[in-house]
Amino acid sequence: MKNISLKENISKTIHVLKVIKMASKGYFYVFILQAVISSILPYISIFFSYLIIDGIVDGIPGSEIMGYAYLMIAINLFLGITNNLLNYYNKVYSVELQYNLDSKIASKTFNIDYSLLEDNETMKLIQMAEEGCSGNGDPKQYCEDVLSKLLSSVLSIFYGGFLLSGLLVVKEIEESSFLLKVLNNPFSVLIIVVALFIPALVSKYVMKKNNEKSYEIMMTNIEGNRQFSYFYQICSNYKYGKDIRLYHLQKMFISKLKTVRENADELWRDFSVFRSKLMSVSIFGNKLLSLVSYIFVGMKAMYGLISVGNVVAYVAAITIISQAITLIVERYSKVHLFNNYLDNYFKYLNLESTKEYGEISEIDINNLSIEFKDVSFRYPNVEEYTLKNINLKIDAGQKLAIVGMNGAGKTTLVKLLCRLFEPTEGEILVNNIPLKSYSKEVCENLFSVVFQDFKLFSYSIKDNVSSGLNGDANKVHETLSKTGLSERVDKMPKSIDTIIYQRSKENGVEISGGEAQKLAISRALYKDSGIVILDEPTAALDPKAEADIYEKFNTLVYNKTALFISHRMSSCKFCDEVIVIDKGEIIEKGHHDLLVNAKGLYNKMWTAQAKYYSEA
């Protein structure tokens, strides 16, 4: 855990408070009011107890003493009711606070460069950010367990110091023994000051060591937590259930979970032993303070320098101040600890995008041409190029088939075109303008893509097709009709408002693989982008069924620029041009008939698969 100066800690704490206030103003003000009230409450009883005891000793009228008692009860009742009300609002606003803080992580994850999101270091940083926001760096706990206690402790010391000012009063006395002179000297209060700060210094050392060890263990266990979350997700996701049962994977997963858990348990067991040893030192210091306080105040009372009521008030005040000072030391150490955790949260939120966008905000989506100029690409931390020297022109409205064996680089080419990754070398142009010269909005609206590993979500069919909560119902129905899915959807309980899959709060409808593919294609059509790409979304189907879907889709996007990508030949006959990619390079280019007769890789692939497309 890195050391942070007092100035840095204060600066970071102010930043955290600003973030909390922005996330929930209600929570911010409630926790401050709770701190103020909690600092006042103990002194109400102390002050009135002192008045009542001295009143009894001095023989003041019982009605006056009862007046003190009634006033004490009334003030405590008012503050207690107020505190309960604040507790209620604390819980209400806590939900708002946590939601807004978590949503920042979600928003960042949704908007971060895809290339960064695929990086293992970014995945670790996300886990650390979540620990910083919802785990050990929980801002709510930071406020209530640290900042609130700090504020309350500072106010307690202020109130207690005011109450103890009576110890500075010098009494006129006849005796002049050395001990009495010392006790009657205002500087004698330094005995209490020293007794207060020695335990505080001990606590500071103890908490520093405690927090360093705690942070070290937590950072060591980050990867373990990530693995545990992954395994737990697998165990609780019904989509993995078939494979787990058929291949008897239960024991493997449980064994891995057990290993991760045991490693974490061993770390925390060692920490518990370490912490117990440290705490024993702190407890001894506090008990020593209590002994010194009682002796000092008691002796002043014995010599008549303070009243009996003063004894009760001063001892209680010294105890509270001692606890407050210790809390300040402890909580300051926790400020240091929490700021380290929250650094990870802010580090992730401040992760800068490397993708550049231009200022061109308009483009004719019905007339889009594409050009790859000397494009090469290799993935981060990989020496070998996935794509090499790709030169390719696709005219507006052209239908292009991209074929090749698995791993040839076809999907990577699509990722570059969609700006999920940036070319390592070369550039991509749309309408003869570099793609990165267009605005973010233009780039996002250029492409409708159905990937091989497309994802549908456990929301309504309408939301899945329209990609949002405010979709046009008529357009959704029209799109489903085009893909041949409308009849199936109309038979569902709530038509397009039917939830799919069992991951929502409502009972969902399970759909087949073919229906899911049609739904994914419907989503691409609904978006109505100028460039449409099918990246092997039907690879799980048999070749004949795949060919039928590709041919139908080709009819649906007749006026758009379209790319059909496959390691099979479903789309090649009806496309204007076919390119063959092998080992990251374009090795053949031309129309289907030309390539069949060229006796190259395309011919071999077509010959091997031709029987699947015959009208048998």
- Is the pLDDT score of 85 beyond 90? yes
Q: What is the mean pLDDT of residues 496-515?
A: 78
CB 480 within 8 A of CB 500: no
Query: Which whole number is the average pLDDT over 179-198?
Result: 75
Rounded mean pLDDT, 499-510:
75
Lowest mean pLDDT segment, chosen from 135-139, 146-150, 348-352: 135-139
The band of 324, judged by pLDDT with boundaries at 50, 70 and 90, is confident
Domains of the chain are 6-349 (1.20.1560.10), 370-453+530-613 (3.40.50.300)
Are 480 and 465 in contact by the 8 Å Cβ rule? The answer is: yes
Cα gap 218→213, rounded to integer Å:
9
**pLDDT tier, 86 (very low <50, low <70, confident <90, very high otherwise):** very high
- Mean pLDDT of the region 109-131: 76
Give yes or no for residue 1 having a pLDDT over 60: no
pLDDT single digits (tens) 347-406:
888 887 778 889 998 888 888 999 999 999 998 878 899 999 999 999 998 999 998 888
Q: Which band of pLDDT confidence, cut at 50, 70 and 90, is reported for residue 255?
A: confident
Q: What is the pTM of this model?
A: 0.65
Q: Select the highest-mean-pLDDT range: 24-38, 99-113, 145-159, 466-480.
A: 24-38
Q: What is the pLDDT of residue 219?
A: 67
Give the residue from 442, 416, 448, 439 showing the smallest Cα distance to 364.
442
* 205-228: pLDDT as tens digits: 776 777 677 767 666 666 666 666
Q: pLDDT digits over 532-557, tens only? A: 998 877 666 666 666 777 777 777 78
Which of 446, 449, 448, 451 has its CA nearest to residue 435?
Answer: 446
Q: How far apart are CA 340 and CA 361, in angstroms?
A: 41
Residues 203 and 329: beta-carbon distance below 8 Å = yes
Mean pLDDT of 161-173: 77
- Show the DSSP H helices in 175-249 as ranges: 178-184, 190-220, 222-236, 241-246
Residue range 499-525: mean pLDDT, rounded: 81
d(CA 611, CA 18): 68
pLDDT for 615 beyond 70: no
pLDDT in tens, 405-431: 888 899 899 999 999 899 999 999 999
What confidence score (pLDDT) does residue 29 get?
92
- Please compute the mean of the pLDDT values over residues 588-610 and round it to a whole number: 87
Instruction: Select the highest-mean-pLDDT range: 151-155, 301-305, 312-316, 451-455.
Output: 151-155
- The arithmetic mean of pLDDT across residues 325-338, rounded, is 76
Classify the phi-psi angles of 564: left when phi > 0, otherwise alpha if psi is within -120 to 50, otherwise beta: beta
Task: Give the pLDDT of residue 616.
Answer: 39
Give the model's pLDDT for residue 117.
75
Mean residue pLDDT across the chain? 81
- State residue 472's pLDDT score: 87
Q: DSSP secondary structure string, 235-293? A: HH-GGGHHHHHHTT-HHHHHHHHHHHHHHHHHHHHHHHHHHHHHHHHHHHHHHHHHHHH
Residue 253's pLDDT band (cuts 50, 70, 90): confident
pLDDT tens digits, one per residue of 228-245: 677 766 766 666 766 766
